[in-house]
Structure 1
Amino acid sequence: QWQGMGRRLYAEEATFREAIDRCHEAMRPFTDWSLRDMVTLPESPTRWNDIDVIQPTLFAMQVALAAVWRSLGMEPHAVVGHSMGEVAAAHVAGALSLEDGARIICERSKLLRGVSGKGAMAVVDLSRAQAHVELRGFEDRIAVAVSNSPRSTVISGDPEALKEVVKRLERREVFCRWVKVDVASHSPQMDPLRQALLERMSSVKPTPSVIPICSTVTGTVLDGRELDGAYWVRNLREPVLFADSVKHLVADGHVT
C-alpha cells in the first residue's frame, strides 16, 4: 500500500467512488477518522501508518476494486482472501454484509493497535513442515504464521526470538526477509485478544455465500455460514493456509 492509492480512481471512476462512499458510511460507527479523507486528501493524515487506519482502508480498497471489476463484467467464480483480505473476500462472496465486514476489520484492527510494536514477522525459504522443525523450543513465542507456497513460509512472534531463529537460518544460507510490520499476527501474541475479539464480533451474522469462498483458515471451501465471530478470531490467530487454498481451488478447476 502507499499514500494516495485510490485517489485518481475516486476522482474519475464512479463505481469506485460509490463503493468507497458506502464503506465510509459503514465504518463511521467504528472509527474516529474519515475513510474518505484517507483516499482523497492530497496528503494523507499522519495516522496513515496506524494499523487501525491502514487495515480498514485496505478493506475498502479491496471492496471498491471488486465493484469496479464487476461493473466491467468480471464476475468471480470463486474467491480467496489472504489473512485480513479474507474479510473483503467474504463480503464479495455474499457471506458478510458490508456493515459486518466493516465491524470486523475496524474492531479487530483497533485491538491490534494495542499490541503494535511488540511483534515481528519474517519470510523464510522453508516449507511449513520445515519451519515447524526450526521453531522447536520457541513455540510459546513464535509460530508458523503463513504458508504461501511450498517454499515460502512466514514466521511470526516475539522480535528477539525471531532474530535468533533468523540468524541461525541465515548462517545456513536459508533465505530470510523481514516483513515491514510490528504486529505479530497469527502468533501467540494474539491469544490475549481472544475474549475481546469474541465480544466485539458477537453480532456478526454471516449468510450462505453466493460465490464459493475458499477459507485460508481451513484450506477448504466453506458455505459462508461458518464465518461468525469465532471464525474471525481464528482468522487472526491461526496460520494462513494460502498454499492449501490455492491447491484446493486448482483441484476444483479454478485455474485463471
Structure 2
Amino acid sequence: MGTVKDTGTGTARADLDRPRGPRPVALLFPGQGAQHTRMGTGLYDHDPVFTATMDEIFAELGREGARIRADWLSADPAVPIDDVLRAQPLLFAVDYALGRTVMSWGVRPAALLGHSVGEMAAATLAGVFTLSDAVRVMWERLVRLSRTPPGGMLAVAATPAELAPHLDGEVVIGAVNGPRQVMLAGAAAPLARAAAELRERGITCRPVRATIGFHSPSVAATAPQDEAAFAALPLRAPGIPVYSCYTGAPLTEREARDPGFWARQPSACVVFGAALDALLSGGDLVLLEAGPSQSLTTLARRHRAVGAGSTALALLPPRRGEDAADRESLARAAEALRTEGAAPDLARA
C-alpha cells in the first residue's frame, strides 16, 4: 500500500514509486474451544490435499484413528466432540491439514502462530516434529490427560488485575488473548465458584468448550511422562518462524529442542495476545486462520494493526453449517490470496 509523503511544497503525493507486492502470509491455528461437530468435513473428499492429509493422520492413529474419523464425519458422534480424546486430535488434524492445503497453493508462510494445541500443528508444519512423531506423542499425552480430574475454562471480559481476587491456586489465568480477553482455568468445582462470583460482580464470562482444566495446575501431573516422551523424539529447529503462544515471541532453537518446553504446554498459561503483538510488529501481513470457528480471526480483527495495513481472513466458516459452506469459505480465502498475489500456484491455475 502506497504511503503519503510531504513534497516540501506543502502538498502531499502518493508514493507510487515504491514497488507493490503481496503482503506476507502468516497462518493462525486455533486450539481448544474452537471445535465443533463436522468441522471442515465439507472439504473431505473435495480438496485432495486436505483429504489426503486427514487420512494420513487417521492412519497414524491406527484403530483409534478409524473411530475418530467416524465421529468427525458424524452429526451425532459416539464420543462427544468436546471430549479431550476428540477435540484435541481433530483440532490438530484440521489445523495441520488446512496448513498443508494453503502451502499446496504455493504459499510460503512468513510465520506460524497457534493457540494451545494449535502450536503443535504449527510446530509440525515448521518441521520441529515429523507428523508421525507429533501424532503419536500427542495421542499418548491425551490419553494421560483424559484421566485428570474434570475441569474447564472460562472466557472473561476483564483484565488480569481485575480477576486477581478470584485466583486461588486452583483457579488460574489460563490465557491472555488480548485486552480484556482473558481465560480462567481450573478444576470443575473451583471454576464454577469463580464463575458465580464473577457474575455477581457483573463481569461477563462464558464457559469455553472443554472437559478438563487446560492451562492450569489441574493437568500438570502428566508433565513428567510427557517430557520423557518428547525427549525420545528428534526435535529440530523450526524451518518456518513460529511465534509461540507460550512465550509471546518467536520460538528459539533452544526452546524447540527442549522436551520440557513441550511437556509444560497443557498446564502453562497462553499469551496469545503478546504473540500476536510480536507477529504484527514486523510489518503488514495477511493473517489467515487455518482452523474452525474463526475465533483467532475475531481476536486479530480487534488488533490495532489489522485494518491499518494488515488483514485477517479465515479458511472455514464461523460455525457449523452445510458442507458447501466449508467449500465456499475456502474458495473465498483462496480468491483473496490470488488477488493479493500471495498464492502463485493458484494464480497460474
Instruction: State the TM-score, normalized to the length of structure 1.
Output: 0.88
> Alpha-carbon deviation of 1:162?
2.1
SS in 1 for 2:96: helix
Residues 75 and 129 of structure 1: CA distance in aligned 2, closer, same or farther (over 3 Å)? farther
Which ranges of 4 or more aligned residues in structure 1 deviate by more than 6 Å?
Answer: none
Higher RCO, Cα 8 Å, sep 6+: 2
Residues 253 and 234 of structure 1: CA distance in aligned 2, closer, same or farther (over 3 Å)? farther
Decide which of 190, 201, 213 is 1:172's aligned counterpart. Answer: 201
Task: Give the structure with the higher percent helix.
Answer: 1
Amino acid at match of 1:253: G
1:94 — aligned with what? 127
1:135 — aligned with what? 166
1:11-55 Cα deviation digits (max 9, x unpaired): 111111111122123333xx634144344x555640243312331
- Whether 2:47 is the aligned partner of 1:6: answer no
Q: Unaligned stretches of 5+ in structure 2?
A: 1-34, 287-349
Residues 225 and 13 of structure 1: CA distance in aligned 2, closer, same or farther (over 3 Å)? farther
SS in 1 for 2:55: helix
Decide which of 63, 80, 96 is 2:96's aligned counterpart. Answer: 63
Given that residues 37 and 44 in structure 1 are in contact (C-alpha distance below 8 angstroms), is that contact kept between their aligned partners in structure 2?
Answer: no
Instruction: State the TM-score, normalized to the length of structure 2.
Output: 0.66
- Whether 2:263 is the aligned partner of 1:233: answer yes
Decide which of 11, 31, 50 is 1:16's aligned counterpart. Answer: 50
Given that residues 71 and 78 in structure 2 are in contact (C-alpha distance below 8 angstroms), is that contact kept between their aligned partners in structure 1?
Answer: no
Decide which of 79, 94, 109 is 1:76's aligned counterpart. Answer: 109
Work out the CA distance in 2 between the residues paired with 1:224 and 1:18. 30
Q: Unaligned stretches of 5+ in structure 1?
A: none
1:146-194 Cα deviation digits (max 9, x unpaired): 1011111000112222232222222221111122322001111012222
Work out the CA distance in 2 between the residues paired with 1:59 and 1:223. 22
Work out the CA distance in 1 between the residues paired with 2:217 and 2:86. 23
Residues 172 and 53 of structure 1: CA distance in aligned 2, closer, same or farther (over 3 Å)? closer
Work out the CA distance in 2 between the residues paired with 1:55 and 1:4. 14
Given that residues 186 and 218 in structure 2 are in contact (C-alpha distance below 8 angstroms), is that contact kept between their aligned partners in structure 1?
Answer: yes
Given that residues 159 and 182 in structure 2 are in contact (C-alpha distance below 8 angstroms), is that contact kept between their aligned partners in structure 1?
Answer: yes
Amino acid at match of 2:143: K
Amino acid at match of 1:214: Y
Residues 37 and 180 of structure 1: CA distance in aligned 2, closer, same or farther (over 3 Å)? closer
SS in 2 for 1:237: coil
SS in 1 for 2:265: helix
The percentage of counterpart residues that share the same residue type is: 28
Residues 97 and 112 of structure 1: CA distance in aligned 2, closer, same or farther (over 3 Å)? same
Residues 250 and 7 of structure 1: CA distance in aligned 2, closer, same or farther (over 3 Å)? closer
Residues 180 and 248 of structure 1: CA distance in aligned 2, closer, same or farther (over 3 Å)? same
Work out the CA distance in 1 between the residues paired with 2:137 and 2:283. 31
CA RMSD of aligned residues (A): 2.1
SS in 2 for 1:155: strand
Amino acid at match of 2:272: F
Work out the CA distance in 2 between the residues paired with 1:15 and 1:33. 18
